[in-house]
Amino acid sequence: MGAKVAFILVLVASIALGACTAVRLSYNLADDILRFMASDYFDLDDRQLDAFRTRVSHFHDWHRANELPRYVDLLSSAGGRVSKGLKPGDVEWATQALRSRYRFLAARAAEEAAPILATLQPDQIAALEKKLEKNNTKYAKEWLSGDSRKRERRLLERTTERFEQWTGNLNASQRRRIEDFVRAHPKVMEIRFAERRRWQADAVQLLKRHKNPAELAARLAKLFNEPEAGRSQEYLSENRRWEADLAQLVLDLDRTLSSEQRERVLRRMNRYAEDFRALAGARSSVAGETRPGLAGS
């Protein structure tokens, strides 16, 4: 189905913040979107917002110049693999490449945000906790409510929809293969929800305990780069099984793709690569400015 299309979809959703036809507009609006989200989650004051605006702009320019070209290379390489038909090594390559880019990006973002996060007051951290709990309640309602059959149906619909965003309509046999995959992991959303809450609690505790920006940046970077450290054995075991089964699902679907489906996947990859290439060449007005150092350093 495309060198782990599910993972590439996550990459695109995280970076582009929108549908394929709106990638460039969404990316160019990312500064405003991130500032809005920061204000919504943390209830930042004017001074913090000004500092955050500067850092987001520099981070955005760094990402445009340094990371987007890497995404172009990833998509180009993935497209070459997809065009020839996937092998097990291709899926492993895509998984590791995208995971590596995500963790590096998250650690860099943590370093950039740490000087502002270190200034958060107790009431602002409380606002964050309230927002996280609100989101968790929404997550639980969407994915954990109802009986097991209803939960399975919702997950099946989402999984199928994500694949079809790349391939177009799947045939009955392909849909059954996805259904088999979903049915093999009845507890995945429940286990992930528990891990999500644990990770959030750890992050909030770091914000409460560490007010030195450099130390907070290092701690947050470690939280992103070594997520396995605090995970339960149940989660680690289920996640390994889920990733292995997803890899096999991708390989199985790839073998059944029609020429039209494969062409659709390749066209979508090419469009993203073209958008990322164009965005990488469009520098903002602060691209050449000196990046601010960590506060207190």
- Distinct helix (H) and strand (E) counts, the chain: 13, 0
The answer to whether residue 160 sits within a structural domain is yes
- pLDDT one-digit tens code per residue, 80-116: 999 999 999 999 999 899 888 888 888 888 888 899 9
The answer to whether residue 79 sits within a structural domain is yes
Per the structure block, which two tokens stand in for 172? 């009955």
Q: What is the CA radius of gyration of the chain?
A: 20
Helical packing angle, 172-183 and 148-167, nearest 10°: 130
The answer to whether residue 296 sits within a structural domain is no
Q: What backbone torsions phi and psi does residue 174 show, to the nearest 5 degrees?
A: -65, -40
- pLDDT one-digit tens code per residue, 206-253: 999 999 999 999 998 898 888 888 899 999 999 999 999 999 999 999
Q: How far is CA 266 from CA 7, 78, 167, 181, in A?
A: 15, 9, 9, 24
The answer to whether residue 180 sits within a structural domain is yes
Mean pLDDT of 115-131: 93
> For the chain, what is the domain count?
1
The answer to whether residue 288 sits within a structural domain is no
The one-letter code for the residue type at 128 is L
- pLDDT one-digit tens code per residue, 143-201: 999 999 999 999 999 999 999 999 999 999 999 999 999 999 999 999 999 999 999 99
Domain that holds residue 84: 5-280
Tell me how far apart the alpha carbons of residues 92 and 3 are, in angstroms, rounded to a whole number: 9
The answer to whether residue 266 sits within a structural domain is yes
The answer to whether residue 113 sits within a structural domain is yes
The answer to whether residue 89 sits within a structural domain is yes
